[in-house]
Amino acid sequence: MDLGDRKHAYCVLDGDGEVVREESVANRREALAELAGRWPAATVVMEAGTHSPWVSRYLQDLGMKVVVANPRKVRAIYQNERKSDQRDAEMLARIGRMDVKLLHPVVHGSEQAQQDMVSIKLRDTLVRNRVALINSVRFTLKSLGYSISNPSSARFHKTVVEEVPASCRDVIAPVVGALEELTGRIKELDVSLAKLARHRYPQTACLQQVAGVGPITALYFVLKVEDPGRFRKVRDVGAFVGLCPRRDQSGDTDKELRITKCGPTCGDCWSVRRNTSWGPSGRIAPCAKRGCAWPRMALPRPRSVP
C-alpha cells in the first residue's frame, strides 16, 4: 500500500505472486475498514511516512498484519525510473512477499506517545521561528548601522528595545511583539512538558542525572525508545539513534567512516546525539539509579557504537 494524503494506492497479490487487484482507497477510516473487511487477516506492507503511524495502528486493530518499511532501505522504489503510486504499491507487496527483512521494518510508537511527542515538536517549531525572527531583527538593525549585544533568546525582545534608538523601535515593533509572544508560549510549553515528564514518564528522572540533559531531552528519548525491552543489548540503543559508523568494505579495504546520524531528530532537543557519547568506549552505560532499566548517557564527546 502506497500512502497518500487523499487516497492510498494498493496492490493485492495471491499466493503465486500474481496481481489480483490494483485500486485506490480513500484516506478515511471508513474506507480502510471496508478494505479490511474485503481482505481479512491480510498482510499489509507500507512505507513509513506521515500517515503510517495511525493507518498501521488502525489496520492492526482490524485484525490485519502490518509491516512498515523503512523508506531509506527501499531503493528499488525511490530510484525507479518509472515511479508511480501503483508501481510503488506493487513493489512493496512483492518485496514483502519475498522477505520482510529486506524492508527493514519500522516499529511505530503508541498513540499516546505520538500525541505527547507532538508537544515537543510544536515547541521545536516555535524555537526555530523565534531564532529566525531574531536573525531578521539583527540583520535589519545591522543594515541601519546598529549592533545588538548577544543576550539569551528569551531576553532578546527586552534587550533590543533598550539598546536601539527610539527612531528604530517603530520599525521593529511588530517583530519584537511577535518575539515576546513566542517566548511566552515556549515558556508555557516548557512547564507543561516538565510536568508531563515528571508525572507520566517518571523514568525520565534517570536520564536527567547527566549534566546537560533536561526534562525535554529526556522525555524525547523516552518517547522514541518507549519500550527498552525490545533491544537485546543496551548498546543497541546507540545504533537506534544513529550512533553507529558507516561502513564501506570491499576486499582488503575497510574504511573508517563517520557515524550515520540516521536516528530520530528533533532540533536542539536531540542535540545530545551529536554532543554526547554513550558511556566508556562509546557504549551505553546503565543508569546509576537502582532498579532503573533506562540507559544513562555520559562523556561530552561524539563517539560511535561499533
Tens of pLDDT along 259-293?
A: 777 766 554 444 444 444 344 444 444 444 444 54
> Is 305 among the domain residues?
no
Same domain, 181 and 262: no
Report the sign of the C-alpha dihedral through residues 24, 29, 30, 32, in that order. Answer: positive
Say what the alpha-carbon torsion angle 26, 31, 32, 37 is, to the nearest 10 degrees: -140
> Is 62 among the domain residues?
yes
> Is 14 among the domain residues?
yes
Average confidence (pLDDT) over 183-203: 94
Same domain, 213 and 251: yes
Determine the pLDDT at residue 33.
94
**DSSP secondary-structure letter at 182?**
H
Query: Residue 47: pLDDT above 50?
Result: yes
Query: Residue 71: pLDDT above 70?
Result: yes
Average confidence (pLDDT) over 186-192: 94
Q: How many CA atoms lie within 13 A of 187 on its CB side?
A: 9
Higher pLDDT, 107 or 304: 107
Query: Residue 224: pLDDT above 90?
Result: no
> Is 35 among the domain residues?
yes
Pick from 179, 200, 221: which residue ends a domain?
A: 200
Same domain, 90 and 125: no
Determine the pLDDT at residue 264.
65
Does residue 49 contact residue 4 with C-beta atoms inside 8 Å?
Answer: no
Same domain, 246 and 219: yes
Average confidence (pLDDT) over 104-124: 90
Q: Which residue has the cell 516548557?
A: 190
> Is 302 among the domain residues?
no
Angle at Cα 101 formed by Cα 97 and Cα 105, nearest 5°? 100
**DSSP secondary-structure letter at 268?**
B
Question: 49-58, 126-135, 165-174 — which is least confidently predicted?
Answer: 165-174
Q: How many domains does the chain have?
A: 3
Q: Backbone phi, then psi, for 127, in 5-degree steps?
A: -65, -45
As a whole number, the mean pLDDT across the chain is 83
Query: Residue 32: pLDDT above 90?
Result: yes
Same domain, 98 and 14: yes
Average confidence (pLDDT) over 41-65: 93
Same domain, 186 and 210: no
Radius of gyration of the chain (CA): 24
User: What is the domain-level CATH number for residue 50?
Assistant: 3.30.420.140
Pick from 87, 103, 119: which residue ends a domain?
A: 103
> Is 38 among the domain residues?
yes
In this prediction, residue 200 has a pLDDT band, given cuts at 50, 70 and 90, of very high
Higher pLDDT, 269 or 59: 59
> Is 301 among the domain residues?
no
Query: Residue 96: pLDDT above 80?
Result: yes
Same domain, 217 and 269: yes
Question: 76-85, 203-212, 268-277 — which is least confidently predicted?
Answer: 268-277
The fraction of the chain above a pLDDT of 90, given in percent, is 46
Q: What's the domain range around 99?
A: 7-103
Same domain, 98 and 122: no
The fraction of the chain above a pLDDT of 70, given in percent, is 85
Determine the pLDDT at residue 283.
41
**279 contact partners, CB below 8 Å, separation of at least 6:** 285, 295, 296, 297, 298, 299
Determine the pLDDT at residue 171.
87
Residue type present at position 19 = V
Same domain, 86 and 30: yes
Q: Which residue has the cell 546598529?
A: 146
Long-range contacts of 131-138 (CB under 8 A, 24+ apart): 133/175, 133/178, 133/179, 133/182, 134/179, 136/175, 137/172, 137/175, 137/176, 137/179
Determine the pLDDT at residue 298.
39
Pick from 86, 103, 120: which residue ends a domain?
A: 103
- Taking each helix axis from N to C end, the angle separating 156-163 and 111-143, rounded to the nearest 10 degrees, works out to 10
Same domain, 127 and 192: yes
Determine the pLDDT at residue 78.
80
Task: For residues 183 and 127, give the distance between their C-alpha atoms in angstroms, rounded to a whole number.
Answer: 8
> Is 2 among the domain residues?
no
Same domain, 216 and 188: no
Same domain, 233 and 266: yes
Average confidence (pLDDT) over 2-31: 93
